Amino acid sequence: MAPHHVLKCCQRSLAWIPVIFINLVVGWSYYAYVVELCIFTIPNNAEKISYLVVFHLFFIMFIWSYWKTICSRPASPSKEFCLAKVEKEQYEKEQSDAQQDILKKAAIGLPVYTRTGTGAVRYCEHCQVIKPDRCHHCSTCDMCVLKMDHHCPWVNNCVGFSNYKFFVLFLAYSMLYCVFIAATVLQYFIKFWTNQLPDTHAKFHVLFLFFVAAMFFISILSLFSYHLWLVGKNRTTIEAFRAPVFRNGPDKNGFSLGFSRNVVEVFGDQKKYWMFPIYTSNLEGILSESEQDVHMIGKIYKSIQLTKTIGTKTEK
């Protein structure tokens, strides 16, 4: 049997296949649109230039957001969520009930409000950390990821706190890229299909380009719409399928602050930067990303608890 590290290396190499595939498709689409359509097929210079300008605008934003999603390292819990050496040694010696007592004591000073389905403190045995709220362990990345949404094979990375904005922008710009190609290629697709244009080497590229762009647009549209809905609700994909459990029970809207504030949590409070794949968190820049996530969740939970308290007093 091959050594474990060799198998891990093979898995990591194979994980890049979807990314390579996407880049090959995008590379071909660039050639087909710029060379075969604009240079060899479109006769009007004004139309050709206007198409190229808009196309390159969408292309740059699409590639920028895509590679930002790929290259952004997932944020992991800070050291304060690790058990102290004495607590860790004691935890490993005890049984399940006693282990929970140790975790509860360790979590007292931490802004941790969610629990497991059985009401226990969420603890990762692999990373040996108390999980912050919305944090989950990714078996593919082999680490705990803050505000984990899902592991995406098309970017070979976990989508979470550090790159969720980039991922949403990647979906948006890839959709715009596809719909622009399909819309501008359509008239030449019809002309080639009905033999109004002569058979040239550009015919195959133009016909296939329209089908590929339309197919990708339809598939991305549904995914983009779903993630816009998640942003508006301040939920992750994991939380959409399984409501987070708080001390007083599960609450699917436990992290929602209202639509506008939910959007700000992802895109930041400076609207002029929303369309760019750059980090624009509305939290204090002096904190690390993991600390920012903890700080954000603490503010959210306090706001929720205050609202519930006021509501209870009003009813009385």
Burial category of 288 from C-beta neighbours within 10 Å (exposed 0-12, middle 13-18, buried 19 and up): exposed
List, as one string, the DSSP characters of 239-274: HHHSPPEETTEE-TTTT---HHHHHHHHH-S-GGGT
Contact status, residue 123 vs residue 135, Cβ threshold 8 Å? no
Residue with tokens 């809905």: 229
* Whether 178 is catalytic: no
Could you identify the residue written with the tokens 């680490």? 143
Active-site hit among 135, 138, 152, 158: 152
Q: Where are the beta strands (DSSP E) in the chain?
A: 114-115, 123-124, 129-130, 136-138, 143-145, 150-152, 157-159, 245-246, 249-250
Provide the total of helices (H) and of strands (E) in the chain, helices listed first.
Answer: 10, 9
Element (DSSP H or E) covering residue 174: helix 164-193
Radius of gyration of the chain, Cα coordinates, nearest whole angstrom: 24
Through-space distance between the first and last CA atoms of the chain, rounded to whole angstroms: 68
**Residues taking part in catalysis:** 152
